[in-house]
Amino acid sequence: MTPSKLGLVALSSILFSVTLPLLSQELNSTFARDGGQPLDRQYTDQILKYTTDPSFISPLVDYLPASKTVPTPAKVLGDISGAPDMLPYAEDVYRYFRLLEESSPRVKVFTIGHSEEGREMIAAAIADSKLLAGAKDNDARLAQLADPRKLGLDDAKARQIIDQSWPVYYITGTIHSPETGAPTALMELAYRLAVDDAPYIKYIRSHMIVLITPVVEVDGRDRMVDIYKWHKAHPGQDWPHLLYWGHYVAHDNNRDAMAMTLDLTRNVLDTYLGWHAQVLHDLHESVPFLYDNTVGDGPYNAWVDPILADEWAELGWHNVAQMQSFGMPGVFTHGDFDTWSPGYLMFLAGMHNGISRLYETFGNGGADTEKRILQPEDYSRTWYRQNPPLPVVSWSQRDNNNYEESALLSTISYFSHNTHHFLENYYGKSKRAVEKPALEGPAAYVIPAEPADANRQIELLRVLKRQHVEIEQLSDTITSIIPAQKRGDKPTQETFPAGSIVVRMDQPYSRVADALLDRQFWAAGDPQKHPYDDTGWSFTHLFNLKVVRVLDPAILKSKMTPLDDPAALSGKISGSGPVLAVANTSQVSLLPLVYRLKSATIQVAEQSFDADGKHFAAGSLLISNSPENDIAKVLHDLSLDASRLGAAPSVPVHAVPSPRIAFMHSWLGTQTEGWWRYAFDTAGVPFDYISTQTAAHHPDLRANYDVIVFAPVGHSSALEILNGIPLWHNPMPWQKSELTPNLGALDSTSDIRPGLGYEGLAHLKQFVEQGGLLITCEDTAQFAIDTGLAPGVSVAPHDDARVVGTVLNTVFVSRDNPVAFGYGPGVPVISANGMAFNVSNTLGRTGGRVLMDPLTDPLDPYAKRATGRGSVDDSDEPQGRKITEAEPLVKQQPWEPKPLNEEQTRNNPQVIPIPERPDVILRFSDAKTLLLDGLLDKASSIAEHAVVVNAHLGQGNVLLFGNNPVYRGETIGTYALVFNAILNYQRLAQKPAPADQQPPVGQTVRPQGTSFGGGAIPEQQTGR
Ligand SMILES: [Zn+2]
């Protein structure tokens, strides 16, 4: 759009007459504008023109003041903020903010970092020039409120500082790229804050600093603008939905505030804490017309300070009341969003002694003005939404900007009049965070020094560092009293060796460490029936670590020193000799090591051995001919220890080539696979990135690849994966072009619609049959089952079990399987919905395991026999004839296939040959011990069922995960399940037992060395 457009529009005939509700004009003197300040008439006229209903605007934004020196957003946009048919790229938005900085002493702009693809992220600070000039001194004062240890926890000193200080309010826009309104709203908001002389705005800028990051997901913004431009250039055609938002994930970029894997999360937290801001206010679009979910719904996160919960109530209800007084419909603050998970971007503030806030405004996924038809649940009146949205509206991007700016200006105004109050709260929350050991506890978390865990410990410590948590290391061995896990049990003692990690709770950001390391419990009877996200996330469990919660504050007096670089915990090489042994401890770095040492000879030990005073589990690596000068650095980079041995141990080994990996995505969605891509990239595991369309056109996948990773697409059916998007309408390209310069960098296609197709499926099948490994998870595991790639595996019915992002306990069924190398008896897994598998010895309609044979159901002894004579354990005996005893039934466990007898196998082509039958590797533990963190109800339908299964097809394997082992950077403990499988892809096939050892038909096949019978591995020993 060109700048001249603004001048060309004939206004009078199009404008609706501005009849704002009386209430807003007469009673809102608080927000009266400065009558002496001239208006930018043209801009103002455009605001009114693009607003589709007089009730969709407030007296705060129904005009724009003129400035002789400061340009309006129209200077860059060519039209006003929120104008239809126009979305600016991030760099245009930045250009405007830099113009503001050049022309106004009230604006300062700075870079806060870059995205994964190298795009800049900025923040702008806006306040009176006097405040900006003193920002550094102010920040030094706020830093003392943020860390009350610096004040000796002295309230009188804090009071003095509060009297001299002004707060910082941080607003972030468009983390979710299809939610497009925030950048232009924030451009105009910045102009108003810098230029408008309305008394309330003058008050804001003289009492606080407003910090704005107009574009959080900058990679996704530029792609969104590309596809919007494509849409405008192809009127009447379907346009692709946004596939890649960030480089890795889409919507989940707002679920990263725990592990902090993404650059945008790190940049925002560093800015937020760097400025010692009091509020982080994130802008979104979904529900009509403005849901200020500052109040949200229960349950609230169990680790937030009650002061914060009351600040939410104060700010949320005040904000919607204010909007109500402007007469704007559809504004509410209580609604469908529980405030339990701390994974949302804004929650960075909630976990760091600030205030987290989030707006959902209404948006059209672009700048088209559209007729929007709402659902009854959206426009119905309820107690907390007395003035609901209208059922049918014409909605424009300008309407969105009006709501966003009006709500922000009014809430900032409220904040500016209560700066003392909010700074007192800020100090109060920080002080209570430091006082945690003496108040609610705990005193500390201790991660005992344990070389076998070091690799995963380092990963956890890196997360804590990114969260700005202080970490220390014990100088001496100490003993602490540990409270019992169960109420009523006696406390125990635990000795922690020198070098153990201590996360003290008497530090300012103790709250976030506590929330991540503690356990979560979501009551099955909780009135909130729709958890908004995961209900459990304990990093202690998900990193498969021992982390001890210590209540006794005596530990804080122990001698300890800060640990600045977690990497110092590993990288040691001991012993001497030509063979380097690296123990498999289910760490994340064994597979990457193979790629880093490409010139070395690497073997996998198939059995455990002892050497150099250490135990090496099966699956450990034996390396020879490695470049000497390189190895120490490589081990340090990968957080691995190694032992030099005089000779290779005498155990069976197999050679490890560097497996050739294809990472296959579907054009249906790239959200969840992105977390896998992130994990492979950060670990340093190379792969070719292909799509299902590539597989469809590649007749010999096996020639190029050993392993194909088909990570979850996200709630897609086999039919959708095969068919893709219907071909009825126009092709939808995803590729770089003059119009769309930001598309196609990761992968490209001239038409995203075609799916894998039946040809692609045939190629995939052939790939596996020829010895390849296909790794599947959740919906792609379902796909493998539905398309016949996993003979004998079915999904266990689990609809009645309630699992919502829950951390569950498991038991390895087959510890000899290479997938289990390096693990203990079990490993905690995160389960989205309780997906589990049944395995069967037959195909066809009798294939999927009959859930429970009533005659063998171990859960229900009364089902074991039919009605008749005798007791429950007795046999019935028909009268008047000799008794014929039935063959004793083989006891079947929930994770086992139903055994077949002679009768069932006779002339039955559906019987799967023994070597082809699926192997169960991991199963859920029993119902009593299944839950670790989060919500679990009606556990019996999934308890003890298989959760990781390896199916056989021809020479190859299909690995199926019911849990997601590579998820949000949080599941470090289960990465090795995937990496072990890749490293040993040639050894996953079950070797048929010699003929004389083959069990007679009718008995299940049990891999060597596996414990059976349920009780062999006590459930309480499993997964930490
Ligand atoms: Zn959103």
Distance (Å) from CA 314 to ligand 1 centroid: 23
Give the pLDDT score at 654. 95
- How many whole angstroms separate alpha carbon 233 and alpha carbon 71? 29
CB-based contact 801:937 (threshold 8 Å): yes
- How many whole angstroms separate alpha carbon 684 and alpha carbon 706? 18
pLDDT grade, residue 864 (50/70/90)?
low
Distance (Å) from CA 311 to ligand 1 centroid: 22
Distance (Å) from CA 522 to ligand 1 centroid: 25
Distance (Å) from CA 684 to ligand 1 centroid: 31
Residue whose C-alpha is closest to residue 427's, from 138, 153, 131 = 153
Q: Which long-range contacts (CB under 8 A, 24 or more apart) does 458-461 make?
A: 458/566, 458/567, 458/569, 458/570, 458/639, 459/543, 459/588, 459/639, 459/972, 460/539, 460/543, 460/545, 460/547, 460/972, 461/501, 461/563, 461/566, 461/569
Residues 458-462, mean pLDDT to the nearest whole number: 98
Distance (Å) from CA 177 to ligand 1 centroid: 8
Distance (Å) from CA 72 to ligand 1 centroid: 27
Residues 556-562, mean pLDDT to the nearest whole number: 98
Residues 199-227, mean pLDDT to the nearest whole number: 98
Q: Give me the sign of the Cα torsion angle 876, 881, 882, 884.
A: negative
| Mean pLDDT taken over the chain | 92
Residue by residue, DSSP assigns 17-57 as P----HHHHHH-GGG---TTSPB-HHHHHHHHHH-SSGGG-
Distance (Å) from CA 538 to ligand 1 centroid: 25
Distance (Å) from CA 176 to ligand 1 centroid: 5
Give the pLDDT score at 53. 98
Distance (Å) from CA 910 to ligand 1 centroid: 49
Give the pLDDT score at 953. 96
pLDDT tens per residue across span 613-650 = 999 999 999 999 887 778 999 999 999 999 999 999 99
Distance (Å) from CA 138 to ligand 1 centroid: 33
Give the pLDDT score at 48. 98
CB-based contact 464:505 (threshold 8 Å): no
Amino acid symbol at 30: T
Q: Lowest mean pLDDT: which of 3-12, 34-43, 617-626? A: 3-12
Q: Is a pLDDT exceeding 80 seen at residue 28?
A: no
- The burial of 991, by beta-carbon neighbours within 10 Å (0-12 exposed, 13-18 middle, 19 or more buried), is given as exposed
Give the pLDDT score at 440. 94
Distance (Å) from CA 323 to ligand 1 centroid: 21
Residue whose C-alpha is closest to residue 566's, from 455, 488, 657 = 455
pLDDT grade, residue 867 (50/70/90)?
confident
Q: Is a pLDDT exceeding 80 seen at residue 780?
A: yes
pLDDT tens per residue across span 246-259 = 999 999 999 999 99
pLDDT tens per residue across span 901-925 = 888 889 999 999 999 999 999 999 9
Distance (Å) from CA 179 to ligand 1 centroid: 6
Residues 38-44, mean pLDDT to the nearest whole number: 98
Residue by residue, DSSP assigns 335-368 as EEEE---S-STTHHHHTTTSEEEEEEE---SSS-
Distance (Å) from CA 96 to ligand 1 centroid: 24
How far is Cα of residue 690 from the mean position of the Cα atoms in its chain?
Answer: 23
- How many whole angstroms separate alpha carbon 472 and alpha carbon 444? 11
Q: Is a pLDDT exceeding 80 seen at residue 873?
A: no
**Burial profile 287-298: b = 16 or more Cβ within 10 angstroms, e = fewer:** bbbbbbbbbbbe
Q: Is a pLDDT exceeding 80 seen at residue 396?
A: yes
Distance (Å) from CA 375 to ligand 1 centroid: 19
- 779: Cα within 13 Å, side-chain hemisphere: 18
Cα–Cα–Cα angle for 965, 971, 972, rounded to 5 degrees: 105
- How many whole angstroms separate alpha carbon 733 and alpha carbon 754? 11
Distance (Å) from CA 118 to ligand 1 centroid: 23
Percent of the chain with pLDDT over 90: 86
Angle between helices 419-434 and 306-325 (to 10 degrees): 160
Residues 464-481, mean pLDDT to the nearest whole number: 97
How far is Cα of residue 734 from the mean position of the Cα atoms in its chain?
Answer: 25
Phi, psi of 154 (to 5 degrees): -90, 110
Phi, psi of 193 (to 5 degrees): -65, -30
Radius of gyration of the CA atoms of the chain, in A: 31
Give the pLDDT score at 845. 55
Distance (Å) from CA 361 to ligand 1 centroid: 9
Distance (Å) from CA 870 to ligand 1 centroid: 64
Distance (Å) from CA 178 to ligand 1 centroid: 8
Distance (Å) from CA 677 to ligand 1 centroid: 22
Residues 702-728, mean pLDDT to the nearest whole number: 98
Residues 551-562, mean pLDDT to the nearest whole number: 97
Residues near ion ligand 1 (CB < 5 Å) are 176, 179, 284
Q: Which 8-state DSSP code applies to residue 126?
A: E
Distance (Å) from CA 76 to ligand 1 centroid: 26
Distance (Å) from CA 554 to ligand 1 centroid: 45
Residues 193-211, mean pLDDT to the nearest whole number: 98
Q: Is a pLDDT exceeding 90 seen at residue 391?
A: yes
Distance (Å) from CA 280 to ligand 1 centroid: 15
pLDDT grade, residue 892 (50/70/90)?
confident
Distance (Å) from CA 254 to ligand 1 centroid: 8
Give the pLDDT score at 554. 96
Residue whose C-alpha is closest to residue 618's, from 825, 921, 821 = 821
Q: Is a pLDDT exceeding 60 seen at residue 653?
A: yes
Whole-model pTM? 0.93
Distance (Å) from CA 289 to ligand 1 centroid: 14
Residue with tokens 């309407």: 399
Give the pLDDT score at 860. 54
Distance (Å) from CA 123 to ligand 1 centroid: 20
Give the pLDDT score at 923. 98
Residues 109-120, mean pLDDT to the nearest whole number: 98
694: tokens are: 């590539």
pLDDT grade, residue 292 (50/70/90)?
very high
CB-based contact 406:326 (threshold 8 Å): yes
The Cα diameter of the chain in Å comes to: 111
Give the pLDDT score at 799. 78
Distance (Å) from CA 532 to ligand 1 centroid: 13
Distance (Å) from CA 181 to ligand 1 centroid: 11
100: tokens are: 């503001």
- How many whole angstroms separate alpha carbon 157 and alpha carbon 148? 10
Distance (Å) from CA 286 to ligand 1 centroid: 7
Residue by residue, DSSP assigns 831-899 as ESS---EEE-SB-GGGTSPPS--TTT-TT-GGGSS-SSSS-TTSPP--TTS---PPPPPPP--TTSPPP
Distance (Å) from CA 284 to ligand 1 centroid: 4
Give the pLDDT score at 885. 78
Give the pLDDT score at 870. 85
Cis check for the bond before 442: say yes or no (omega within 30 of 0).
yes
pLDDT grade, residue 371 (50/70/90)?
very high
β partners of residue 395: 370
Distance (Å) from CA 739 to ligand 1 centroid: 26
How far is Cα of residue 1020 from the mean position of the Cα atoms in its chain?
Answer: 29
pLDDT tens per residue across span 977-1010 = 999 999 999 999 855 443 333 344 333 333 332 2
CB-based contact 87:366 (threshold 8 Å): yes
Residue with tokens 């704007």: 328
Distance (Å) from CA 336 to ligand 1 centroid: 14
CB-based contact 445:548 (threshold 8 Å): yes
261: tokens are: 């894997």
- The burial of 879, by beta-carbon neighbours within 10 Å (0-12 exposed, 13-18 middle, 19 or more buried), is given as exposed
Distance (Å) from CA 681 to ligand 1 centroid: 26
571: tokens are: 């990288």
Cis check for the bond before 59: say yes or no (omega within 30 of 0).
no
Give the pLDDT score at 16. 42
Distance (Å) from CA 343 to ligand 1 centroid: 13
Distance (Å) from CA 364 to ligand 1 centroid: 13
Residue by residue, DSSP assigns 547-616 as -EEE--GGGGGS-EEE---GGGG---EEE-SSEEEE---S-S-HHHHHHHTTTSEEEEESS-EEETTEEE
Give the pLDDT score at 990. 54
Distance (Å) from CA 166 to ligand 1 centroid: 30
Residue by residue, DSSP assigns 950-963 as EEEETTEEEEEESS
